[in-house]
Amino acid sequence: MPTIHAGSTREERIAQAAHNLRYKQTVRGALSLRIRRLKHRCKVAGVQCTLTHDDLIGLWNKQGGKCALSKEPLLLGSELANPMACSIDRVKPSLGYVPGNVRLVAFWINSARMAMQDDEFFDRVRRLSRNLLS
């Protein structure tokens, strides 16, 4: 994505800002932003992250833009704005963000799952469902 230079005219800066906004609204642009943020968080926390932008695009395409667990369509908006926002989840939380250990899930699922293994998370969801239906 091109950067805005200090010597640019006001019109050029406005046009570039509009272009950047449109790019962030595409799958490629939204996932590019996600991987940059993830890599920064991992660096700060000391968590391994070898994922690339192409890895995320591949996951998005493989999953058809749907949550790996609920199979509902994922949104590329902000996590804070929508529970169905795309979130990068580690299959085994003890491992890093590495190819083969990540999937795209809805933000609410990733938040609820926290550091649980899949078996424990699914068991808790089943118990919740049974209690709500009884």
* Domain CATH for 88: 3.30.40
Determine, yes or no, domain membership for 2. no
Determine, yes or no, domain membership for 20. yes
105, 87 contact by CB (below 8 A): yes
Determine, yes or no, domain membership for 42. yes
pLDDT value, residue 134: 86
Determine, yes or no, domain membership for 128. yes
Determine, yes or no, domain membership for 46. yes
pLDDT tier, 4 (very low <50, low <70, confident <90, very high otherwise)? low
pLDDT tier, 29 (very low <50, low <70, confident <90, very high otherwise)? confident
Between 61 and 19, the more confident residue is 61
* Radius of gyration in angstroms for the set of CA atoms belonging to the chain, rounded to a whole number: 18
pLDDT value, residue 36: 92
The structure tokens listed for 41 are: 């968080």
pLDDT tier, 93 (very low <50, low <70, confident <90, very high otherwise)? confident
Determine, yes or no, domain membership for 5. no
d(CA 106, CA 46): 24
pLDDT over threshold 70, residue 64 = yes
Q: What mean pLDDT is reported for the chain?
A: 88
Single pTM value for the model: 0.80
pLDDT tier, 3 (very low <50, low <70, confident <90, very high otherwise)? low
| Nearest residue to 93 (alpha-carbon basis) of 47, 38, 33, 37 | 47
Determine, yes or no, domain membership for 18. yes
Instruction: Give the lowest-confidence range in 18-27, 44-53, 57-66, 74-83.
Output: 18-27
The number of distinct structural domains making up the chain is: 1
pLDDT value, residue 13: 81
Cα–chain center distance at 19 = 22
Range of the domain at 74: 10-133
d(CA 86, CA 84): 6
Determine, yes or no, domain membership for 78. yes
